[in-house]
Structure 1
Amino acid sequence: MRSFFRKINNIQSSSTTQRIPLSLVCLISLMAGILLPFALAPYHSWWLAILSPALLYACLHQRTARQAFFIGWSYGIGLWFVGAFWLYTSIHVYGDTSAILSVLMIAFMAIAMGLFNAVQCWLYRRFFPETPLTFAPLWVLFEWMKTWIFTGFPWLFVGYAFTTYGLDEYAPLFGIFGVSFVVIVIAAALTECLFGKRFWLIPIALLLFGAWGAKYIQWVEPKNEKPLSVSLIQGNIPQDLKWLVEYQTETLRIYATLSQTEWGRDLVVWPEASIPMFQTDIQPFLEVISKHAQERGSAWVTGIPYWDLENSQEGHPLYYNAIMASGSQSSGLYFKQRLVPFGEYIPFSGALSWVLPGLQDDVTLSGFSAGHDHQAPLIIKNHRLASAICYEIAYPNLTRNNAKDNDFLITISNDAWFTGTSGPWQHLQMVQMRAKENGRWIIRATNTGVTAFINAQGHIVKQLPSDQRMVLRGELPAYTGETLYSRFGDWMILLFCSLLLALGLLFRPRVVNTAFKQRR
C-alpha cells in the first residue's frame, strides 16, 4: 500500500506532470469513490473510509484547479452511482421504468451529485495550500451543504462508517460533521506520512486519544422512572400491494391482528403510512382501535396520510404524511417537514402547471405539504416523544431541533421501496448516529425493516429480521440531560472549519499559487 501511494506521489510530483494522462488519475479517483459505500452499512468495512479519501487526497497532489475539478467529479460519480444504486429498485421494480432507463437516471443523479466533490476539489487546489487542515474542512462544509441545497440529499457521509467504531465518540460533541472531519484529517495525514512527513502522526495520535477520552464523558443519564414498555408492529406489506384499494382491508387486518397480543403495553407503534387511507376515510376504524387501546391502558402511535380539513392553501386542501397518537394518556399529531422530491411532492409544481394543467387538482400528482418547524412532541404516558418520518431522520439539525427537551425519539419509515438493497441499512446507520448525537433512545418502526430499538449510545439493542411479519418488544428508559451537540448544533464544527480555511487562505504559499494560476 505504501508503494502504491508513493507511485501516485511520484507521478504527481514529476516534472512531466503534464504528460501523465489525467484519465489515469481520474480512473483511480473513480475507483476511490466506488470504495467508500462499502465502508458503510451493511458492509461495515470502516477502513475503506480512510483509504477512499486518502486516495483522492493523493490524486490531487500538485494538480491544477481545472484538473482537480475532473478528479473530484470522477470521485463523486463513483461514490453516488454505487452508494445510491439502491434507487434502482424503486425506479425499475416499483416505478415500472425500463432497466436501461433506470440505470441512466441513476447515472444522471451521480453526475449531478458528483459536482459537489468536483467543486470541492477545484476550490481546494485553486485557493488553498495542500494540507489535511484545508482538505478536511472543505470536505465537511460540502457534506453540510448536501443537507440544504435543493432541499438536500444528506446521504453517504464518511463519518457514518465509524458509527459504533470508536470515532463516533465525537458525535455527542460535534455531530456527524465532527466525526467526518476527524476521519478526513486522519486519512489525509496518513497519506502525508506515507509521503515521508512523519510529524502528521502527532495530530493522528491526538485525535485518536480525544475519541478515547470522549467516551468517558457522561452527557446524559436515565431518569429514575419505570421504563416504557413498547411494541413495534412490522406488517411487511409488499410495496406493490400497499396502495392498492383492494388490499386496504387486508392491510388493516394484518396490523390489527398483530397488535392483539400487544394491547396492555405502554406503547404500540405502527410504521409510516401503515394506514393507507386518509383519516377522513377511515374514522370508524381509528375510533375502534383507539378505544381498544384506551381500555387496555395502551398508547397507540401510527403513520397515516392526513387531510387537513380546517386549512387550505389558495383554495387547495392540504395533505400531510403524518404520525398520530391516541389511546390511553396519549395525544399528538406530527406532520413530516422534509419531503422526498418526486416521491411526496413535485418540485416547482406551480411553474409546471402550464405543462401539466391537472397537476394542481390531483393529490396523487401535487403530493403532500410540508409540516412547519417547532411542532409539539407526542405525549405518551407523561413522556415527550420527538418525531421523525422516514428519511428526514437523515437531517442532523432537523432531528436535533425536534429532540430538544424530549425523553425519546420515535421514527417511522417504509423502506419497502428498497427491499433487498443497502438503502435500508444505510438509513438505519443514520438513525444510530442521531441517537448518539442527541443522547436519546430511538424507537424505530418500519413496514419491512429494519425495525429496531437504538439506545442513547447509538447501539442497536434489539432488531427484527427484514421482510418478515413480526412484533418487536422492548423496555426503554427515558433519558435526561443534553449533549454538547444538542446544545450548540453544527455551528461549532462549521465555525472551526471556516477558521481553518481562513488561515489557509492567509498563509497559502504565494509562489506556488502564482505558478498554478499560470497553469490553470
Structure 2
Amino acid sequence: MTRIFQTAQKSTQSSPKFPYVVLCLIALFAGAIFSFALAPYYLYPLAVLSPAVLYALLSVAKNSRQAFWLGEIYGFGTWAVGGFWLYTSINQYGNVSPTLSVVLIGIMAIIMGLFHAVMSWIFARFTAKQPLSFAGLWVVQEWLKTWLLTGFPWLFVGYAFTEVGWLNGIAPIFGVFGLSFLAVLLAASGVELIRKKAGYFVISATLLLLTVAISLLDIAWTKPTGTTTSVSLVQGNIPQDLKWREGVGVQTLGIYAGLSQAEWGRDLVIWPETAIPMLQDDAEADTAAISAQANAAGSTWITGIVYRLLPDDVADVPKLYNSVMLFDGKQPLVYQKQQLVPFGEYIPFGGLLNILPGLEGMDMTGLSRGDATQPLLVANGQKLGTAICYEVAYPNTTRRNALGSDFLLTVSNDAWFGTSAGPIQHLQMVQMRSLEMGRWFVRATNNGVTALIDQKGRIVSRLPQFERGVLRGDVPSFVGKTPYMLWGYYPVLVLAAVLIVLSMVAAKMSKTTAKREKFYTAKGVADR
C-alpha cells in the first residue's frame, strides 16, 4: 500500500515552476469561486474544480511554508465571499459601522482560512502528496469546523451535491463528509490524470467509488409507516428591525394568530423561530389563549419563543434560551437550542472584541446553550426530531436529535441575513440532513424559506421569501435508520485518518530511502 503513496510522491518532483505571487492570486481566486458551487448558484462542478486548483498549487509549492500561505489565502477567499452574508447581521443588527463590519468579516475569513492553511502545511510537509491523503485531510478540516473555535460548519464541499441525484446514495451512508471526500478525491485525481502522473490505483479507486455511489441510489434505508400528519407552516414575514421593538409584540401575535385562524383543525400548526417576540413567562396569558383555541379545534400548536429560566439564587442572572414550545392541551413541551449563531446569538471572544474602538456599544451577552441530550417533542403520537435554525448545520447534532423520530422539524428566522445567499445555503443544509436521516423535514421560517422536504432531500413545496403566507402539506412518518444515523460520520473520519497516516509513513520511508541512496552514491564516488 505504501508503494502507491511513494509513487505518487515521486510524481510531484518535476512540477513546473511559477512565480509565487501568481500562485497566491490563483489560490485567492480558486477559494473565492468555491461558494458559487453551493446554493443559490448551484454550479456544483466548481466544488470539484476549486479543490483541484488548490491541490495543483500545493503540488508546485517549493516548501511547506509556501503551502501554508497558499492554503490560508485559498481559505480566506472561500470565507470572504462565501461568508459575506454575515455582514447584514453584524452591520444592521449589531450596531457596527459598515467599515468595521467588513473588517470583522475579514478577521473571520482569516481565522477560518487557518483550517485550509494547516491542512495544506501538513499535506506538504508530512505526506506523500497524493490524492488520497489530500481528500483525507480535507475531510478532517471540515470535521474540525464542527467544533473547533466554537464551531462554524459552513461551506462544506459535499453540500454542492445535495441536488445531484446520481450521488444521493452516498449521503444516507456516509453523510456530507462522504460526499466531500469523494468530490475532493475526484478533484485531486483529475489533476494527476491531466499531468499524466496518476497512479492506476488512485484513478481506479475513484471510478469504483463513483460506480458504487450510483448503485446505492435506489436503496431505501427507511420506509413510511403509513401515518401522515397534516401540517400548516405559518410565515409571518416580520421585519427584523421591527420585531423586538417595544409594542410590536402584540401586533406580531395578531399577525400570526390571524394567519392561523383557518389552520386550526390541522394536526400541527407551526410558527417559526422566536415568532413570539416576548419571553415565555411574559407571554403566558397569550400563549394560553392561543393554545386553548388550537387544542379545542384538535390542533397541536408549536411556536418559537425565548425561554427564560429563573435561577434558584435570586442573585444570579436568569438564563435565556432560544426555544421551541409545543402546546397540545397538556404540559407544554420545550426544546432549547444547543448550537448558537456566532455574531448573531452570541459573540465569540466577546470580552476581547469589546475593547476594540467602535465596538463598545455592541451587545456581547448572548443566549445560553441548551443541553446536548433532550427528549423528543411528541405531537399526536408522532415524535419530532427538532433543530432550531443554525443547528441543522451541525451533522452530528441533527443526527442525535433525529434518533427515534418519525419526521424532523426545524424553525428558523433568517431575516437576520436579508437577501444574501445565507438563507438559501441554510435551506440546502436542511435538504442534506433529510438525505442523511431518510426522513421528511418540516421547515417553518419567519421570512423564508418555509418548505417541506422529503426523505430524498427534494423540496416538495415552499413559500416565496419575504411574503406572508401559510404552507400546507401532509407529512408521512418514516421508520428505520439509515447507516448514517447508526454510525454518523465516524467511518469517514477513520478512513481519512488511516489514509493520512499511511501517506505520512510512505513519505518518511521515501525520505529514508533517498538518504540511503544519496549516502551510497557518495560512498561509491569516494571509493573511486
Normalization by structure 2: what TM-score?
0.89
Match of 1:202 in 2: 204
From 209, 215, 218, the equivalent of 1:216 is 218
Mapped to 2, the partners of 1:346 and 1:25 lie a distance apart of 35
SS of the equivalent of 2:277 reads coil
- What residue number does 1:493 align with? 492
Give the aligned residue type for 1:52: S
Residues 290-313 of structure 1 deviation map (CA, whole Å, 9 limit, x = unaligned): 000010000000000011236569
Alignment-derived partner of residue 21 in structure 1: 19
The 1:406/1:21 distance shift into structure 2, 3 A limit, reads same
Q: 5+ unaligned residues in a row in structure 1: which ranges?
A: 1-11, 357-362
Q: Is the 8 A contact 1:29 1:72 kept in 2?
A: yes
For residues 58 and 428 of structure 2, the distance between their equivalents in structure 1, rounded to whole angstroms, comes to 30
Residues 21-66 of structure 1, C-alpha deviation per residue, up to 9 Å, x if partnerless? 2111011111110111000000000001111011111111142111
Which residue does 2:191 correspond to in 1? 191
Query: What do residues 128-181 of structure 1 show as CA deviations (whole Å, max 9, x unaligned)?
Result: 012110000000000000000022000000010000203232111111111100
Is 1:332–1:376's contact at 8 Å kept on the other side of the alignment?
Answer: no
Q: Distance in 2 between matches of 1:325 and 1:246?
A: 25
SS at match of 2:276: coil
Task: List per-residue Cα deviations over 1:353-373 (Å, max 9, x = no partner).
Answer: 9989xxxxxx97533211112
Offset at 1:109? 1.0
2:112 aligns with 113
State the Cα RMSD in Å. 2.4
Q: Deviations over 1:207-234 (max 9, x none)?
A: 2111111112221000022x10000000
Change (3 A) 1:422 1:348: closer
Residues 473, 494 of structure 1: alpha-carbon distance in 2 compared, 3 angstrom cutoff: same
Question: Which residue type is aligned with residue 59 of structure 1?
Answer: L
Question: Which letter maps to 2:253?
Answer: L
Report what 2:171 is aligned to.
171
In structure 2, the residue matched to 1:333 is 334
Which secondary structure state, in structure 1, belongs to the residue aligned with residue 262 of structure 2?
coil
Separation in 1, partners of 2:313, 2:430: 33
Distance (Å, rounded) in 1 between the aligned partners of 2:108 and 2:211:
39
What is the letter of the counterpart of residue 432 of structure 1? Q
SS state of the match for residue 168, structure 2? helix
Report the counterpart of residue 77 of structure 1 in structure 2.
76
Matches of 1:311 and 1:233 in 2, distance apart? 36
Query: CA shift at 1:420, angstroms?
Result: 0.8
Q: Any residues of structure 2 matched to 1:437-456 within 5 Å, and which?
A: 437-456=436-455
**1:344 positional shift:** 2.2
Alignment of 1:268-417 (within 5 A): 268-309=269-310, 311=312, 315-327=316-328, 331-347=332-348, 365-417=364-416
Q: CA deviation at 1:280?
A: 1.3
What residue identity is the alignment partner of 2:31? G
2:44 aligns with 46
Distance in 2 between residues matched to 1:224 and 1:39, nearest whole Å: 37
Q: Counterparts of 1:80 and 1:35 in 2: how far apart (Å)? A: 10
User: Could you tell me whether the CA contact under 8 Å between 1:76 and 1:116 is conserved in 2?
Assistant: yes
Residues 230/394 of structure 1: CA separation in 2 closer, same or farther (3 Å cut): same
Task: Work out the CA distance in 2 between the residues paired with 1:15 and 1:266.
Answer: 64
Partner Cα separation in structure 2 for residue 121 and residue 193 of structure 1: 21
Query: Helix, strand or coil: the match of 1:375?
Result: coil
Unmatched runs of 5 consecutive residues or more in structure 2: 1-11, 357-361, 516-528
Alpha carbons 1:311, 1:317 under 8 Å: kept: no
Q: 1:44 to 1:514 in 2, by over 3 A?
A: farther
Q: Classify 1:509/1:492 alpha carbon distance in 2 versus 1 (closer, same or farther; 3 Å).
A: same
Find the aligned partners of 2:93 and 2:309 in 1 and give their Cα distance: 29
Structure-1-length-normalised TM-score: 0.91
SS in 2 for 1:385: strand
Q: Distance in 1 between matches of 2:343 and 2:314?
A: 20
**Alignment partner, residue 430 of structure 1:** 429
Is the contact made by 2:80 and 2:105 (CA closer than 8 Å) also made in structure 1? yes
